[in-house]
Every structure is written in C-alpha cells, then in structure tokens.
Homo-oligomer: A and B are copies of this chain.
Amino acid sequence: MAKTLGLHILADLYGVNPDLIDRVEDVKHLLETTVKIANLTKISSHYYQFQPHGATGVILLAESHISIHTWPEHGLATVDVYTCGDPSKAYKAMDYIISTLEPVRVDKQVHERGLLGDHEGSHLQNVLLKV
C-alpha cells in the first residue's frame, strides 16, 4: 500500500479584484491568516512588493509551503498550497484563500507528492479539478 507524503494544490485565480492583491501588506495578511485558519505550522514568511504592481509571498511551513504571486493588472493570482500530513489542512487553506479573493474563475489541480511503498506506476498523481 502506497503512502503519500504530501498534497499539493495549485490554483490560478482569475478575475480577482486588483485592490485585494496589489499591495504586499494585503498579501501578507491573507497568507498569515490562512496559516492560522488551517492550523498549519509556520517556520518563516517572506514577501516582496513589485513595482508598479503585484506581490509575491511565501510561507515556509513545517508541513512544506504556501506561495502566492499576483498580477493585479490582470486580476490574476497564482497560489500553491503544499502540505504534508493531514490533507484537510491543504484544502482548508486553499478554500480560505479562494473565498477571500473571490475570483470569477479558478483553475485548480491537486497532486499527491512523494508516494512511498509503491514504486511502480505514477507517483506524482494528478487529479484535475475545476471550480
């Protein structure tokens, strides 16, 4: 029986209100709140304000990482939530980010990463989800 070490959710959020993703302060507030709500364990967090638009944020977790890159000029945010352990935390984190940014459209994929004990077949599992 294969065991999965981690769950990685990738989501591209389209049609986001640019005011929600332009400033690094807002991106920081979003990610820091996400970690608390999903009961994840922060190691450190890092942010960068691009000029004239957009921001990057990454939180290193004991469980892996969360990242966001934003293009307010396109109403776009690309988000990664990659956690080990309880997979429900990854879904909870991503659901919070999406519900906060209220995109018009989300393209989302879920990967199981690091399968052990079954070295035959595909280890980087892929489930296509669309919202």
When the two chains form their complex, are residues B111 and A10 in contact, meaning their CB atoms are under 8 A apart?
Answer: yes
Identical subunits present: 2
For A28, list chain B residues within 8 Å (CB): none
When the two chains form their complex, are residues B46 and A116 in contact, meaning their CB atoms are under 8 A apart?
Answer: no
CB distance from A125 to the nearest CB of B (A): 9
Within 8 A of B (CB), among A6-34: 6, 8, 10-12, 14
When the two chains form their complex, are residues B60 and A46 in contact, meaning their CB atoms are under 8 A apart?
Answer: yes
Within 8 A of B (CB), among A105-131: 105, 107-109, 111, 113-116, 119, 122-124, 126, 128, 130
A residues near B (Cβ < 8 Å) are 5-6, 8, 10-12, 14, 43-44, 46, 48, 56, 58, 60, 64-65, 67, 69, 71, 74, 76, 78, 80, 82, 84, 105, 107-109, 111, 113-116, 119, 122-124, 126, 128, 130
